[in-house]
Structure 1
Amino acid sequence: MKNRTSSIIVGGLIILAILGIFNSISSNPINFLKGVAVFVLMSVVIYFVVRKLSNSGPQSKEQRAFLKAAKKSKKRLQQKNGVSQAKNSSHGTLTTLKKNIKTNKKPSAHLTVIEGKKSKKKNRASL
């Protein structure tokens, strides 16, 4: 019952607002447009003020530092990729190209197997 009365009240307010907008447009459209422009302008100003005030905390400093580090990392990766592409695109003999490819490859990681006590069985008490 309570939800029904609140939905009726909200619906009535919406209908009254729509009627008021149509009445304002029909009676004085220039004044209506000025009011809408002032509303939009004030909303934008309030949005930027709130955004500026909320970004002044320590959390935003950490965020700025993270973004700065991300830009540096991205720039470094682009430079690294640009250098390798420049080497591969240079005109040279086949032996120099093979030599460059061999020097750029990293050696594969050698994995070793650690021998454990696999053959020993656990002593379990039988119940």
Structure 2
Amino acid sequence: MNRPVSFLVYGIIFLGAIGLLGNLVSNPAGFIKNAVILAITIGIVIFAVKRLTKSKPNAQHERSFMKAARDSKKRLKTRDAAKGKADNVQSFSLAKMKRARNRNRSDIHLTVIEGKKGKKKNRALF
């Protein structure tokens, strides 16, 4: 902020503080009454705003995410159950199976982003 505006803001705050202290000294019951009324009004406004804005704009996105998370958990449970049955049925050793699985499948899901492969790089910029 520039200097004259900041002086104006500080002056208003200072005068407000003097007014509050003067009201507190001259009429403490009225001051407390006004403070309670202000707190109740602010509480009602906050309650009304939260109540009216209960439905979020991203509610559909959150529901989709929760559904996907549930489906993923189900899929993992069925895969783990099937893996447990397969381990009991097969005659391979457990260590051999783990090594084979680790080589064949990776849990990392990567996406390839196509770039400008045909464009030559200007080495002078590096």
TM-score norm. by structure 1 comes to 0.48
Q: Normalising by the residue count of structure 2, what TM-score does the alignment of the two structures yield?
A: 0.48
Bigger Rg over Cα: 1
